[in-house]
Structure 1
Amino acid sequence: MSAKICLITGANSGIGYATAEGLASQGYHIIMVCRDQQRGTAAKQAILQQIQGAKVDLLVADLSSAKDIVRLAQQVKERHNKLDVLINNAGGVFSSYQTNDDGFEQTFAVNYLAPFLLTRLLLPQLQASGAGRIINVASIMQAKQFEADEAAHPLESSYRGMKAYKLAKTAVLMMTYRMAKEWSGSGVTVNALHPGVIYTPQSARSVPAFARPLLKLFMQSPQQGSRTSIYLATSEEVAATTGQFFKAMQTAPTVPVTMDVDKQNELHDQSMVWMAPYLEA
C-alpha cells in the first residue's frame, strides 16, 4: 500500500515543521510548502536525517501571491494524482499595512485567501483520495463582527495588525464551515483548529530579551502545538467528522458571526469573484 500524501504549508519552522516531522514519522509522504528555498531545504534535510526512510518533497511558493499558488497547485497535480491530507498551516501577522500584488491586505491574503484558493485548486486531488482531509489552522482569536470587504481592504489609517489577524482567522472559520456543507457526502472533510499559544523565535522577538525565558516557560512548544493537526490528519475517530473547530483535540465553539450562514455565503461568493482569474486559469 502506498503512503498517504499530506501537503503542509508553512512547513519549514514552528508548528508546520513539527507537524511535518510528526506525520513523516508515521509513514506519511510529506509535501513541505515553504516560502524560502534555503530554509525549506534545511528543514527537509533535518527530517530526512532524523527519520529513516522518510518521504519528503519540497515545493517553494509565496502564499501571498495568487499566481504563485496557481503554480504550486499545478506542480502538485503534475506529481500526484491524489492528495490525502491538506494542512493549511501557513500564516502571519503584519504589524504595518501592506498589500499583495492583487491589492489585498497582506494578513488577509496569507491567512485566508491563500488557503481558500489552494484548497479549491487541489479539490480534485483530495476527492481522488476517496477520503481527503482538509485541516485549516485557525485561532481562538476571532472577531465578533465581520465584513468581507473591510477585512480584505481595510483603511490604512485605521490598520491594526492583530485586528487584521482576527478578521482573517474568522474568515478561515467561516470558510471551513461553508466548505464542509458544500462538500458534504463527497468523502472530503473540512475542519479547523486552534494550535495553542506557541513559543517560536517570532513570538520571542515580540517581548524584551529579559522576558523571553519566562515567555518560553508559559507557552507551548511547536511539538505540543502540532498535536491537534496530527490528530485531525490521522485519527479514525474523526475520519467522518466535518465542519468542526477543535482545541486540544476536542471540539469547541466559535463566535456567532462564524456560524452566520448569510455571512458565510457572502464571504464565499465574494472570494469566488476575487479569485476568479486564478480559479479559471
Structure 2
Amino acid sequence: MLRRWRIRRPGDRGLEAPLADGGGAPKTALITGASHGIGLEAARQLARRGMTVVLTARDLGKAGAAARELDGDGSDVRPKALDVRDAASARSLAAELRGELGGLDVLVNNAAAYADWSETASAADLEAARAVFETNLFGAWRVTQAFLPMIRESAHGRIVNVASGAGSHGEPQFGLTTGGGAATYAISKAALNALTSKLAAELRDTGILVNSVDPGLTATAPGMEAMGARPIPDGAASVAWAATLTDGGPTGGFFRDGEPLPW
C-alpha cells in the first residue's frame, strides 16, 4: 500500500515524498550544475535523506568546494566534473560511476544557461540562443541518454528536469504569454518540458518516473528577494520531491511545490 505524499509548506524544511510501505528507496543521485544555487541545495536535501549524491559541475574544483560545504552528518557527496554540452564527458562519467557505484537511481538535470532577460524573439541573436539550447535542452537530453542504461536497471528510477514557469503558458507572472522578454530562456525551458513528456511516454511501462519541476522565482542572485523571490531551500524542495517520489507516482508532469502546473 502506498502512503500519501506529505507536502511541507513554505517555512518547513521542504516537500517530502515517502516511499512505498515495505519498499526500497533510491540510493544514488546525480545532479548537474550543482556547485551553487538550487543544484547545491538539492544535493544537500537528498544527502540528508541518506542518498549518495554525485555533485557535478564543469569545473572539478568548484564541484569539490561545493561538496565540502555539505560535509558532515555522515553525508556521502562525491564531486565530479561533467560538461553537459559534451557527449564524451557524459559518457566518461557514466562509465566511471558504473564502476564506482554500480548503478544510478536518480538523475537531476539542473544545469542551465541564461540569455539577456530583455531579449525578444524578433531580435534574438540566434547563435547565442543556440548556445543556451545546448545546455538547457540538448545538455539534459545527452546526459539522460548517457545515464539512462543505469537508471533502467534501478528499481526506483527517477529523472527530474529542472524547468521554469518561464516555459509555461499557465504561469501568470513570468510565463510564455506574459510578455516578449527572456525569449530564448523561456523557449528552451518549454522545450525541456516537451522532452520530459516524450521520455515519460517512452518509459511509462518501465517504472521510471520522469517529471519536470519549476522551483519558482528563487533568490539565486543578490537582490532577487526584493522581487519577491523565495529562499533557495524552498525552490530546491520541488527537486528533492520529484527525485524521491513514491513508486507508482506521477510521470510526465510539470510540478511546483508538489502541485501540477500547465505548460
Same fold (TM over 0.5): yes
Q: 2: distance between equivalents of 1:120 and 1:32?
A: 18
Q: Write out aligned runs for 1:1-281 (5 A).
A: 4-48=27-71, 51-95=72-116, 97=125, 105-142=130-167, 162-201=182-221, 204=222, 212=223, 215-216=225-226, 218-236=228-246, 239-254=248-263
Amino acid at match of 2:58: R
Q: 2:30 touches 2:56 (CA, 8 Å); kept in 1?
A: yes
1:19/1:226 contact within 8 Å kept: yes
Deviation of 1:65 (Å): 2.6
Q: Is the 1:87–1:134 Cα contact (8 Å) retained in structure 2?
A: yes
After TM superposition, the score normalised by the length of structure 1 is 0.73
1:48-92, Cα deviation, whole Å (9 max, x unpaired)? 1xx321111111122223332233333233323321111111102
Tell whether the 8 Å contact from 2:26 to 2:244 is kept in structure 1 after alignment.
no
CA distance in structure 1 between the aligned counterparts of 2:68 and 2:96, rounded to whole angstroms = 21
CA deviations on 1:127-147 (whole Å, 9 max, x unpaired) are 111220000001111277xxx
Within 2, Cα distance between the matches of 1:239 and 1:97? 43
CA RMSD after TM alignment: 2.5
Distance 1:99 1:21 in 2: 35
In the comparison of the two structures, how many residue pairs are matched?
223
Cα distance 1:218–1:143, how it changes in 2: closer, same or farther (>3 A)? closer
Secondary structure of the 2:225 match is helix
Residues 185/166 of structure 1: CA separation in 2 closer, same or farther (3 Å cut): same
Structure 2 runs not aligned, ≥5 long: 1-23, 117-123, 170-179
Identity %, equivalent residues:
29
Q: 1:86 to 1:229 in 2, by over 3 A?
A: same
Q: Deviations over 1:145-204 (max 9, x none)?
A: xxxxxxxxxxxxxxx982111121111111100011111111211000100101123xx3
Rounded to whole Å, the distance in 2 between the matches of 1:218 and 1:172 is: 25
Q: CA separation of 1:216/1:239 partners in 2, compared to 1, >3 Å: closer, same or farther?
A: farther
Measure the CA separation in 1 of the matches of 2:248 and 2:232.
24
Higher relative contact order (CA 8 A, sep 6+): 2
CA distance 1:224–1:2, shift in 2 (3 Å): closer
1:219-260 deviations in Å (ceiling 9; x for gaps): 112111111111111242x64311111012111111xxxxxx
Partner of 1:207: none
Instruction: Report the more deviating stretch, 62-71 or 81-90.
Output: 62-71
Q: For residue 183 of structure 1, give the secondary structure of its aligned residue in structure 2.
A: helix
CA contact (8 A) 1:82 1:127 kept: no
Query: Greater shift after overlay, 91-100 or 125-134?
Result: 91-100
Alpha-carbon separation, structure 2, partners of 1:183 and 1:26? 26
- Three-state SS of the structure 1 residue aligned to 2:206 is coil
C-alpha contact (below 8 Å) 2:29/2:106 kept by paired residues: yes
Distance 1:82 1:162, change over 3 A: same
CA change 1:136–1:166 in 2 (3 A) is same
Question: Would you tell me which structure has more helix in proportion to its own residues?
Answer: 1
State the alpha-carbon separation in 2 of the partners of residues 113 and 161 from structure 1: 22
